[in-house]
Amino acid sequence: KQEVTQIPAALSVPEGENLVLNCSFTDSAIYNLQWFRQDPGKGLTSLLLIQSSQREQTSGRLNASLDKSSGRSTLYIAASQPGDSATYLCAVYNAGNMLTFGGGTRLMVKP
């Protein structure tokens, strides 16, 4: 059974810092990995999707990498802003139509 872990569970940084969020998974036979953002009480917004054949994806200040063999992905946020404050979730898709989510990292960027 796939297990997805996100570290740290919570993170507080001053505005302007570059930061890295970590995601690890136990079963490397994945189709893809997706990073989401969730604001309190809201749904999930897709940030980046990395297919299993890819190593990284970039969108603006966000860069996500994938190392399938070691079961790891990182989300890099450059020059963080208060508007980046949210919970960040990673999810991996395995065979059997299973999308497994991590517990999320709650990010607070202070002005």
Partner 1 sequence: ETGVTQTPRHLVMGMTNKKSLKCEQHLGHNAMYWYKQSAKKPLELMFVYSLEERVENNSVPSRFSPECPNSSHLFLHLHTLQPEDSALYLCASSPGGGVGTGELFFGEGSRLTVL
Shortest distance, position 79 Cβ to partner 1, whole Å: 25
- Total binding residues for partner 1 by CB under 8 A? 27
DSSP symbol at 82: G
**Residues 98 and 8 sit within 8 Å (Cβ to Cβ):** no
23 is a site residue for partner 1 (CB under 8 A): no
- What is the sign of the dihedral through the CA atoms of 76, 18, 80 and 88? positive
The residues in 24-43 that bind partner 1, with binding defined as CB under 8 A, are 31-32, 34, 36, 41-43
| Contact pick of 20, 29, 95, 108 for partner 1 (by CB under 8 A) | 95
The residues in 33-92 that bind partner 1, with binding defined as CB under 8 A, are 34, 36, 41-46, 49, 51, 89, 91
Reduced to 3 states (helix: H, G, I; strand: E, B; else coil), residue 84 is: helix
* 87 Cβ contact list (under 8 Å, min separation 6): 37, 38, 39, 40, 104, 105, 106, 107
Residues near partner 1 (CB under 8 A) are 4, 31-32, 34, 36, 41-46, 49, 51, 89, 91, 93-104
